[in-house]
Structure 1
């Protein structure tokens, strides 16, 4: 099939259906980025992407509820190497993001590498072979007829399942007793007709704030069950006119500059979510309060219920222009009492039962478990559940102790509260691909290599990160969030510094951070450090400098034109 093409360049075919150089779990933004880097940076096509759903897109395929959109500007929410000049709005909607991702997948021919409807059940490292054995189950009915389960052997394993993957059901008695319609926001049933229905929504976070304004216009009645209020700031979304889109397309430096400005602005938010006493935090708190009072004038009763009493940034800040006005509608009621239980007919709140046709669960995801429910077993039979018994942690959020030749994207302590996660994902992909290169090279040369982070280094790094996070707004005891372990309060999800700090941290692979084994271990260790570099997207030139440069170039152009005109006259 591959002719004389070297092994890593030959795509997996029928005969080697259960063998690959690299297995990637997940076909969302992270998995796609890793695959593209495998092709571009490592000239490797001997990989498989395993996707449990029927299409790519990850969270942007799973979450298709009414009003679903991104809270990061569209021009910043894209790969740096595949910027989209044709976004139709300043903030992209779910369908447009999914369309963008599908276009990228088509450009890089990623579909040929993806096995859809294929769920990973377990992955086990073989110490003797120095390979991963990943067992999958086939979800598609027809595909399962060829074989409902099988195991893939690979030299490297990448987790690209993300943090917003498995829906979390609320810990409320009686959830299974409800006889009406019940659905989680990440499993929205568009075949269900909302018109004229009496609906309750449990949750009031970022997802609920997008759903509520949309369904309030359709239903006969909507009760919003709020546990804790959220900080809400203006969104200021607007369509992008065609003339602007043409500028972004034909003058790419303008698009790059806009993206840089957006990155700079969002990086500035870091101070707000990390230091509640900062000027940025105080500004955002004032902005949020003014937003609340302006959109709900003369309603101190609602102000009291909707005004948070914790540091801004402790929970995800909501960016919305249409959330607060919903509470002025006659068919909407805000309920802040504790839910006692769910019955066959409805919800009991502080002893009072109310019947509903539909209950929407906007209760988020099982975030702190990361790779749940996949059963991972590493070197010497150590399970991931035992490694992470006190909460997830990883070296630079990418590699995990006792898991050789393994990398993860959007792992522990790499989530952001202030900027685009894609900026982090691209950095992680480049770092992981640098590790993969050494493993592939070793095998290509007939040798072997196992790379796993030194446990002492992992602990030192995480102690440092946790020490920083303990001083952040994320650690505010006055709120709970999906950023931390409920029992211990350990912040397992968020990064403590800026995106640029993270990019610089991962711009090199320091081989002293790793325990290396195999026949190629000494060769890799001698390198000491491999430089990767980073994509510099923040502004490096001020507008003043740009303006002076433009004027200088214009002056030179005018001078040249005048000299040329003078010569013509002399002739």
Structure 2
């Protein structure tokens, strides 16, 4: 006897409105799917570029590459745009593509559960609402949950504390004694800015990063006019940037000897910017292979460390007291505020309780087996759930926006396959996902990212669950088409017609249950 499946509230629910979520929404709209909703926990779009407002926040990929290929911006003011300009770009995209009617602000998703009987996802929102959707696209981004240091006594500190991604603009740093914990990508941007304001800055470094000169400059009015009037010139400019960035993979995962020239350039950068303090130069010079951690760019970080009111502390922190920080060598430094420049919990989806087939919870699965997905997009056992910038689709050498666009196109192809096969859902086959991840890990094992250093690329088992191991154009080619044999496509009996994702007439679904186009084991 046939069960009765209800029509979903929406064909597609997108979680998040950063580059990933907005890119997916735009591509859906362009493809003719207008029955989608974007759930955003905040009161404005932007994701990372809305939340990170710390002084000096900027992209470390050239602006013309760190933007949608279908929406070039000829008016970037700098080679490396700062946060306000990137955030404004995203808001313009929302308005240009008429996305605001699709966005539900202050709608934090707390859980997603797949209802196998109806073939729908039930998406729970913090305010108590439950939306049903045929497809869920998670555009959470890998860098949105702050990572806090595990230091004894942090909870008893009586001064002001905040993470760089939750910057307290109401706190006046002028003349204060400030401790900064961490020397990663965020810290090297805000430390030079606040060093000019604070009375004393103690910068606690665990491991020095490799830092290259920053080839930043103002885009001239002439360049901007040319890009505006001759779009193909900007396209060529973007392409040149792409291939220049893409060449980095040759050293990272083809021949690690190629990074030696970059290491030499970085050491010369240190020598030029810290000419009179050999002890400080030694302290900021890494001893691991360049690229093992994310390579950073800055022209003002090293000079900031030479200021008389800045102290670089390389002794580990033993504890935090009510008004001070005590290091392993017993030195106590009194401070008024502590700023965490400690990055993010990469790929953390613990805030979402995602439940797939058989009641399997994604967080439990990933805790047991490590984060895994097919192409960083589809997860075995979680039908019609697609992730953007999922496991092993991040980058250490090029623009993540390029990967987001490739993944959004892949998701569209999956949705078209659902329509063509009149299937209620599709799920990547476990063997396909397993084989993909085995290939990825074999390639990563030969890379600079497995050179022995500790980095946020690695999980607690030392496995790189973050980065794509090769050229981005190979990923682009791999995601151009969906291999139907990689998926089980499933129909279920229903008295309710199955509406196609991309509009048109409803597709009738027959009685019984079957696999459509399933690959062989």
Shorter-chain TM-score above 0.5: yes
Aligned to 1:482, which of 446, 453, 456? 456
* Partner residue, 2:77: 88
Residue 452 (structure 1) aligned with residue 442 (structure 2): no
Helix, strand or coil for the counterpart of 2:256? coil
Instruction: Report how far residue 368 of structure 1 moved.
Output: 4.2
Residue 108 (structure 1) aligned with residue 81 (structure 2): no
* Partner residue, 1:525: 517
Question: For residues 385 and 215 of structure 1, what CA distance do their matches in structure 2 show?
Answer: 38
Say whether the 8 Å CA contact 2:488–2:516 is kept in structure 1. no
Helix, strand or coil for the counterpart of 2:266? helix
**Counterparts of 1:223-372 in structure 2 under 5 Å?**
223-275=202-254, 277-279=256-258, 281-350=259-328, 351-369=330-348, 371-372=349-350
Question: For residues 523 and 255 of structure 1, what CA distance do their matches in structure 2 show?
Answer: 47
Unaligned runs of 5+ in 1: 1-15, 138-147, 529-571
Instruction: Report how far residue 88 of structure 1 moved.
Output: 0.3
Instruction: Report how far residue 441 of structure 1 moved.
Output: 6.0
Aligned to 2:184, which of 205, 224, 244? 205
Instruction: Report how far residue 448 of structure 1 moved.
Output: 4.2
Instruction: Report how far residue 119 of structure 1 moved.
Output: 0.9
Question: For residues 407 and 263 of structure 1, what CA distance do their matches in structure 2 show?
Answer: 26
Question: For residues 312 and 466 of structure 1, what CA distance do their matches in structure 2 show?
Answer: 20
Say whether the 8 Å CA contact 2:209–2:284 is kept in structure 1. yes
Cα deviation, 1:347-391, whole Å, max 9, x if unaligned, reads 11122221111110011111143x221011001111112321221
Say whether the 8 Å CA contact 1:414–1:424 is kept in structure 2. yes
* Partner residue, 2:495: none
Residue 499 (structure 1) aligned with residue 491 (structure 2): no
Aligned to 1:215, which of 190, 194, 211? 194
Question: For residues 330 and 300 of structure 1, what CA distance do their matches in structure 2 show?
Answer: 16
Question: For residues 254 and 487 of structure 2, what CA distance do their matches in structure 1 show?
Answer: 33
Deviating runs (4+, > 4 A) in structure 1?
519-524
Instruction: Report how far residue 273 of structure 1 moved.
Output: 2.4
* Partner residue, 2:483: 510
Question: For residues 419 and 47 of structure 2, what CA distance do their matches in structure 1 show?
Answer: 27
* Partner residue, 2:37: 48
Cα deviation, 1:160-200, whole Å, max 9, x if unaligned, reads 00100111111111111111110000000111111111111
Coordinate RMSD, CA, aligned: 1.6
Residue 78 (structure 1) aligned with residue 67 (structure 2): yes
Question: For residues 386 and 192 of structure 1, what CA distance do their matches in structure 2 show?
Answer: 39
Question: For residues 254 and 94 of structure 1, what CA distance do their matches in structure 2 show?
Answer: 25
| Alignment: residue pair count | 492
Say whether the 8 Å CA contact 1:276–1:312 is kept in structure 2. no
Q: Which has the higher helix share?
A: 1
Question: For residues 153 and 440 of structure 1, what CA distance do their matches in structure 2 show?
Answer: 18
Say whether the 8 Å CA contact 1:379–1:403 is kept in structure 2. yes
Say whether the 8 Å CA contact 2:444–2:464 is kept in structure 1. yes
* Partner residue, 2:163: 184
Question: For residues 457 and 370 of structure 2, what CA distance do their matches in structure 1 show?
Answer: 11
The structure with the larger Rg is 1
Cα deviation, 1:384-429, whole Å, max 9, x if unaligned, reads 1232122101001100010001100000001111000000000000
Say whether the 8 Å CA contact 1:203–1:227 is kept in structure 2. yes
Question: For residues 17 and 93 of structure 2, what CA distance do their matches in structure 1 show?
Answer: 12
Question: For residues 423 and 133 of structure 2, what CA distance do their matches in structure 1 show?
Answer: 12
Say whether the 8 Å CA contact 1:121–1:136 is kept in structure 2. yes
Range 408-417 or range 235-244, more displaced = 235-244
* Partner residue, 2:20: 30
Residue 466 (structure 1) aligned with residue 441 (structure 2): yes
Instruction: Report how far residue 308 of structure 1 moved.
Output: 0.6
Question: For residues 493 and 100 of structure 1, what CA distance do their matches in structure 2 show?
Answer: 27
**Counterparts of 1:164-175 in structure 2 under 5 Å?**
164-175=143-154
Range 61-70 or range 169-178, more displaced = 169-178
Helix, strand or coil for the counterpart of 1:385? helix
Question: For residues 29 and 387 of structure 2, what CA distance do their matches in structure 1 show?
Answer: 18
Say whether the 8 Å CA contact 2:350–2:363 is kept in structure 1. no
Question: For residues 516 and 94 of structure 2, what CA distance do their matches in structure 1 show?
Answer: 33
Residue 60 (structure 1) aligned with residue 49 (structure 2): yes
Unaligned runs of 5+ in 2: 1-6, 493-508
Cα deviation, 1:520-551, whole Å, max 9, x if unaligned, reads 7989629x9xxxxxxxxxxxxxxxxxxxxxxx
Distance 1:286 1:225, change over 3 A: same
Distance 1:491 1:251, change over 3 A: same
Instruction: Report how far residue 227 of structure 1 moved.
Output: 0.2
Say whether the 8 Å CA contact 1:130–1:155 is kept in structure 2. yes
Instruction: Report how far residue 440 of structure 1 moved.
Output: 5.1
Cα deviation, 1:490-548, whole Å, max 9, x if unaligned, reads 1000110111011011011001111121157989629x9xxxxxxxxxxxxxxxxxxxx
Say whether the 8 Å CA contact 2:423–2:489 is kept in structure 1. no
Question: For residues 195 and 115 of structure 2, what CA distance do their matches in structure 1 show?
Answer: 54
TM superposition score normalised by structure 1: 0.84
Instruction: Report how far residue 304 of structure 1 moved.
Output: 1.3
Instruction: Report how far residue 48 of structure 1 moved.
Output: 0.9
Say whether the 8 Å CA contact 2:141–2:347 is kept in structure 1. no
Distance 1:117 1:39, change over 3 A: same
